Structure 1
C-alpha cells in the first residue's frame, strides 16, 4: 500500500444556494484563507481540496421523493465534506455552524458573503482531526501532541489486528512486523504507523484469509464428521465381517 495515498485526506467544499447566479472563486478563497493552515498540517496528512457549487430549487410537494433524489453532493467521494448553506429568506440570521463527526460540517450563512468565511472551516477541520484546542492556529507543540496520539492509536490498532491474524492459520505474518525505531522523526513515525495499519488491515481482509477466519478446519471437522458417520460405520462393519470370513476359510479347508 502506498503510504502517500493512505495518508491523504480529501476535502470537499460545497456551496448550497438557491441563487443560480451566485459564484465564489473557491481557488482564491482556499489559497488565501485555508492554505496556510493546510501547509502547517502537512506533517499529519496530505490534503486534496475540491469545491463545487450546488443550486437547488424548492421541493415539489406533489412529488418530494423524486426531488430529493436529484441532489448529489458527492459525499462518499471525500473524507470530509464541508457544506455552506445560503438560504434566501430575508430574515436576519446569525451564523450557525455544526460539526458532524466522521462527516464534516454544515454552516448556515445569513446572506451571500464575499469573501466566504472559511474561518469556520479552519476550526471545524482542526476539531475533526482531533486537536484539543481548535479556536486558534495550531502550534508545533499542538501538532506534536496530536502526532503522538495518532501514532499510539495506530500502533494499538495494528497490534490488535496482527494478534487476530496470529490466531488464523497459516500464522506466517512476519512481513507485517512493526518497526519501532524511535530515532525517526514524528512525521516519519506517523507515516510508518499509517502504512503498517493499512497493511495489517488489508491482510486481515485478504480473501484468502476470510475462509480460515470464519470457517477454520476445526469447524469443518465438526460439521462433516456427523455426515460421514452413517456412511463409514456400515463400511467398517462390512470390512470386519469380510476379514472374519476370510480367516474362517483356512480352518474349513483343513477340516
Structure 2
C-alpha cells in the first residue's frame, strides 16, 4: 500500500512507523491503521512535527484510549524512552458514530472509557513472544474488531450519506482541487450540502481542508525537490502569487517555505 506521508513534516526524525490496511469489515470506516514504536536511549529525544490529515483518529496508547479530533494547525510531540501507539485513521462516514461533534474536539482529544480494549491492545503490542509483525497485526485486528462492532449497517452508516462523505474526502485529497466550487462539480452536490457534510463528518470547513492539503503538498514537494523555486511551487499549487502561498505556509507551519526547506534537509 502506498504510504502517503505528506502530513509528516520531518520524516527523517520518524521512529519505527507502520501503516496497515484495514480489514474488509471496517474499510468503509477506517482509512488505515498506524503503529509507531520507539525505544530511545536515556537522554535522547525525537521531536515529531505533523500537519495532520483533516480527520479524526481512534488511538490506544499506554496512557489510555482516546478519540483525537481534527487538527487546525501543526502539532508537535517530543518522544523519549520507550513507547507505542495503535491508531485508526477514521474515514469521515464513521466520524458521527465514533467521534460525534468533531468540531467540538478540534486540536484536542476525548477519552474513551474502555479498559478491556486498552488491556487487550496493550497485551498484543507488548507481547515479547511474538514477532514485530505478529504483534502489530494482532493489535490492529483488535482495534478493528472494536470499531466494527460499533458500526451500523453500511446503508445507514453515520446516519448520513456515508458514501458521499467518503467521496468528499477522496476529492479533497486530489491536488487538482484548489477551489470549493470544484468539489460541487465533481460530486454533483451543492456547496451548502457539502459544507453541512464537512461540519458533521470532518469538523472543519471545506476551504480550510483544501488549504491544508495544498500546504501538505507544498511541504512534500520542498522535501522531495529542494531545487524547486518557491514561486513555481506556489503556481503549481494554484496560488495567485508567491506571497499568498508563503503567508498560508507560515500560518500553518510556523516557518516560511524557505526556512522549512532548510530544516527538512538537515
Give the TM-score of the pair, scaled to structure 1. Answer: 0.29
Higher helix share: 1
Give the TM-score of the pair, scaled to structure 2. Answer: 0.29
